[in-house]
Amino acid sequence: MTNERMEEAARKALEKARPFLQADDGDVELVEASADGIVKVRFLGACASCPLSAMTLRAGVERAVMREAPSVRRVEAVE
């Protein structure tokens, strides 16, 4: 999968996850999708300081992104 296709798939997945985060006054944005299968996201709003954001990243965001883009190896949160 090309970088552009991986980035588009990641954006699509984040759009699906976004309403759940926004319900708790948070949000997420795509920072980068690299050729080596690493997608970087940034939590915004309440999610940026939430102590459960690591669980949200793995159980929610990463799972959603990997479902849309199976070539993604990992999703990382950046500040």
Determine the pLDDT at residue 1. 66
Residue whose pair of structure tokens reads 């309440």 in the numeric block: 46
Entry pTM = 0.89
Determine the pLDDT at residue 42. 96
Determine the pLDDT at residue 46. 94
In tens digits, the chain (79 residues) has pLDDT values of 677 888 999 999 999 999 999 999 999 999 999 888 999 999 999 999 999 999 999 999 999 999 988 889 999 999 8
Give me the residue spans of the domains in the chain: 3-77
Provide φ and ψ at 69, rounded to 5°: -135, 85
CATH topology for 3-77 is: GMP Synthetase; Chain A, domain 3 (3.30.300)
**Is residue 29 helix, strand or coil?**
strand
Give the H or E element holding residue 28.
Answer: strand 26-33
Determine the pLDDT at residue 62. 94
8 Å CB contact between 77 and 26: no
